[in-house]
């Protein structure tokens, strides 16, 4: 038996409709998007437009024209960061960031393109908006921040952060990798100018999908970072400026995006408030089961907070986190989580878990049930008897 609790890496299982949509796109459509006028090609164009509309609706985006598709959350973040930043600018991010933000910024800094400041986070991953106000410089152009930590599940006060960025006339890029599909997101209310996220986590699409949303403020300033065929304006050697073509050269992952469409449909049917309620119910179930099993004497734990996303990080005195992951995956009831730094090295410095090589993380998704957590806690408890 397999208890999959690594939904912060990618959600699994997906709703049945997602598998069917991928299969249909491969088996029945077959053709590429924007590269022909066959009936199948037109069905794909309609599906893509609908998907842009659904995603814009989900986050209260101003228009489907601001929704672009990418290979993963990392590609969406890199498209935004490299597309926005100009020589001599200053960028601010937080210690809670994933390497898909930290590494592009470090690369730009190493090339003497930018200077950057990393705001500290507290021991749960939360960043104080006052620190952002203090770090802002006259040449600061961009603030990048994740909505929820992939290590502790803590949710940032993005509305307060967004208000500061807008007051200073900068741009705010939100990494919604751990919240898209899980929590209500209103980019207008959060004053968020760009939002990046994977399609394969909370949105329930297949691996190989990601989304970048650009507001009206961001649309005129993000340049293309890769150039190539778009199936449009082919007589010109210049990358078309129109969106989405500006940021979507090369053939799109049509089967993946068809699956993402089915995933987003599923999310819309189940509604974000209901999915959030399900996640909060699982967080309280985890806390209750944790207390009952008296695991606190053996494991330190972060996350599964009542207002956080469904992520918990554990640290044992007796087992290294990789050892814990391997042992749990080999029990008759296999519990699957993820050990290590979770691509968020500075977050582990803030938690004090970097020296130990990180934590063992368990994370739940829309299709996880209370019984999965009961079985996971029972297996964990069996290691300390």
Ligand X SMILES: Cc1ncc(COP(=O)(O)O)c(C=O)c1O
Residue 15 vs 210, nearer CB to ligand X: 210
CB of 117 to ligand X, least distance (A): 19
**Sheet with 67-70: strands ordered across:** 67-70, 210-214, 194-198, 171-175, 140-146, 89-94, 114-119
Residue 10 vs 239, nearer CB to ligand X: 10
DSSP bridge partners of 299? 316
Residue 52 vs 98, nearer CB to ligand X: 98
Residue nearest ligand X by beta-carbon distance: 73
CB of 175 to ligand X, least distance (A): 5
CB of 15 to ligand X, least distance (A): 19
CB of 220 to ligand X, least distance (A): 25
- Strands (E) across 10-134 are located at 67-70, 89-94, 114-119
CB of 295 to ligand X, least distance (A): 25
- The rounded distance, in Å, linking the Cα atoms of 376 and 333 is 8
- The rounded distance, in Å, linking the Cα atoms of 37 and 296 is 61
Residue 3 vs 341, nearer CB to ligand X: 341
**Sheet with 299-303: strands ordered across:** 299-303, 311-316, 359-363, 338-340
CB of 106 to ligand X, least distance (A): 15
Find out whether 360 and 2 touch, Cβ atoms under 8 Å.
no
Site residues for ligand X per CB under 6 A: 9, 72-74, 98, 100, 146, 150, 175, 177-178, 198, 210
Residue 74 vs 156, nearer CB to ligand X: 74
Residue 73 vs 129, nearer CB to ligand X: 73
In three-state secondary structure terms, 192 is: coil
Find out whether 125 and 96 touch, Cβ atoms under 8 Å.
yes
């Amino acid at each position: 038996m397999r208890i999959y609790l690594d939904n912060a890496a990618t959600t699994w299982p997906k709703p049945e409709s997602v598998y069917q949509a991928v299969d249909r796109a491969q088996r029945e459509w077959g053709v590429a998007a924007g590269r022909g006028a066959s009936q199948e090609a037109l069905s794909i164009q309609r599906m893509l437009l609908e998907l842009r509309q659904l995603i814009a609706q989900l986050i209260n985006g101003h228009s489907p024209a601001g929704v672009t598709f990418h290979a993963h959350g990392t590609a969406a973040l890199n498209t935004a960061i490299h597309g926005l930043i100009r020589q001599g600018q200053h960028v601010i991010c937080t210690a809670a960031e994933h390497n898909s933000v930290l590494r592009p910024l470090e690369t730009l800094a190493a090339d003497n393109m930018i200077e950057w400041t990393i705001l500290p986070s507290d021991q749960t991953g939360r960043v104080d908006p006052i620190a952002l106000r203090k770090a802002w410089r006259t040449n600061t152009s961009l603030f990048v921040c994740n909505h929820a930590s992939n290590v502790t599940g803590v949710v940032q006060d993005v509305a307060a952060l967004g208000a500061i960025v807008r007051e200073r006339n900068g741009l705010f890029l939100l990494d919604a990798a751990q919240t898209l599909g899980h929590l209500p997101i209103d980019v207008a209310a959060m004053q968020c100018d760009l939002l990046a996220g994977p399609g394969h986590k909370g949105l329930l699409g297949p691996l190989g999908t990601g989304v970048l949303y650009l507001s009206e403020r961001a649309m005129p300033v993000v340049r293309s970072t890769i150039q190539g065929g778009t199936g449009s304006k082919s007589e010109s050697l210049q990358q078309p400026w129109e969106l989405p073509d500006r940021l979507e050269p090369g053939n799109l992952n049509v089967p993946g995006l068809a699956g993402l469409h089915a995933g987003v449909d599923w999310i819309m049917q189940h509604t974000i408030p209901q999915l959030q309620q399900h996640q909060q119910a699982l967080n309280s179930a985890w806390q209750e089961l944790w207390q009952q099993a008296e695991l606190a004497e053996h494991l330190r734990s972060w996350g599964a907070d009542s207002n956080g996303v469904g992520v918990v990080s554990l640290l044992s005195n007796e087992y290294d986190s990789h050892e814990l992951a391997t042992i749990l995956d080999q029990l008759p009831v296999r519990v699957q989580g993820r050990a290590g730094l979770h691509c968020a090295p500075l977050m582990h410095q803030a938690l004090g878990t970097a020296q130990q090589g990180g934590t063992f993380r368990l994370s739940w998704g829309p299709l996880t049930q209370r019984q999965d957590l009961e079985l996971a806690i029972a297996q964990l408890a069996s290691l300390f008897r």
